[in-house]
Amino acid sequence: MTTAPAATWSEEDLSAVRRLKALGRSVEQHFVGRRLALDLLEVAVIAHEHVLLLGPPGTGKTDLVSRFAAGLGGRPFVRLLTRFTEPAELFGPLDVPAFQSGAQYRFRTEGMLPTAQVAFLDEIFQSGSPILNTLLTVMNERVFHNGHAVESVPLITLVGAANSLPQDPSLLAFADRFLLRLTIPPVAADRLDELLAKGSAPARGTPGDGEAHSWVEPAALGRLGRQLAHADLDAVTPEYAELVRELLGQGVTLSDRRIIRGRRLVAAAALRAERVRAEPADLWPLEHFWSDPAHATVVREAVRRRTGRPDEDPDEPARAARRLVSEARILRRQVDAAAPPAAVERVLRQLNSLRLELRRAIPGNQEGEREVARIIDETLKLLDQG
């Protein structure tokens, strides 16, 4: 991951990253306290890794993933698994005419998991071994064995959900394929008014509403995944090695797979932050690559000592305000006096959307609103100069 990095990412790459983050902000408007989950989903689709969401039913996991995935070029493949779920419910029904003709035993996969770019499987550990064994191949190798044929799977990320991790060793081996983990609790009582103000609880929303158009094309996400090979990790590799040694020394369970692929998360975080050269701050996704929930606190504290990230809730209103103002500053840097009017107008539309989002999310935040207004005024002057 350190081969001849360019000074910066291409404008095509940066545009895809910015659209992905804009999608996350759009989805966030429908929910309360789910910013961190969206941050991890953004990293996951850049890195083409899988995410496991843990927590009780009714916390909006299905709706959150469905809305996010719908902005990636289509509806996700969504299923609730039980111990009675048949493989055909995920991978497609038997192609009866082909079977009767004696041609071959194969599945009709159109519209099923083998053709999905994003999948969400609720109660993922409830299914039987035939499904889990097939999922392993789909997740690891992005292929599906359909009869005698081996079909490529366009899967960008698979998101699984469960109340908790299983105790069965064979299921734990399957769970290790989910590189990122996040526990999603119910919305805290002190944010109940904010939840009610959204108009409806997340769990009752209609998946995909308002996000039906494509924010980021799958081809662009495929390019971002390939571009990670050009991220420069030299500055953080010693920190990463020291972190892994510390965690292993404290008894944290990390498979060789997680240790190797954790570097990909760092590269994805750097690209998401629009940096070619990773910095210690880009280690932050590693807070969520633990295997055992009992080790989550140890991992989080070890990572935060290296990233300098404050130990605070990323969904806390003050931090949300800082993030929105920071996004506005990044947008402003995209245009200068030489930029064509169309580009300036596009940035102005995005800045205005951020200002409206700031007002909705953090009412009465005068300091943040003044800063965004200043940035808008500064950008407007570029049109006058043109």
Q: Are residues 62 and 135 in the same domain?
A: yes
Domain contains 170: yes
Give the torsion through C-alpha atoms of 81, 136, 217, 345, to 10 deg. 80
Whether 4 is in a domain gets the answer no
Q: Are residues 78 and 140 in the same domain?
A: yes
- Answer yes or no: do 15 and 75 share one domain: yes
The answer to the question of residue 299 being in a domain is: yes
Are 272 and 346 part of one and the same domain? Answer: no
Q: What is the pLDDT of residues 58-93, one digit of tens each?
A: 778 888 888 898 888 767 899 999 989 999 999 998
Among 254, 280, 307, which residue terminates a domain? 307
Both 30 and 136 in one domain: the answer is yes
CA gap 268, 180 in Å, rounded: 13
Same domain, residue pair 141 and 287: no
Residues 200 and 298 in one domain: no
Tell me the C-alpha distance between 299 and 284, whole Å: 11
Q: Which of 281, 307, 333 is the last residue of a domain?
A: 307
- What pLDDT band is residue 204 in, cutting at 50, 70 and 90? very low
Phi, psi of 131, rounded to the nearest 5 degrees: -70, -45
pLDDT digits (tens, 9 = 90+) for 6-15: 457 888 999 8
Q: What is the domain count for the chain? A: 3
pLDDT, tens only, 119-151: 999 999 998 888 999 999 999 999 999 888 899
* 302 & 336 share domain: no
- 329 in a domain, yes or no? yes
| pLDDT exceeds 50 at position 200 | no
Residue 5 in domain: no
Domain limits for position 121 = 11-222
Sequence-separated (6 or more) residues with CB below 8 Å from residue 87 = 130, 131, 134
Query: Domain end: 222, 243, 277, which one?
Result: 222
Are 215 and 248 in the same domain?
no
Give the pLDDT band of residue 207 (cuts 50, 70, 90): very low
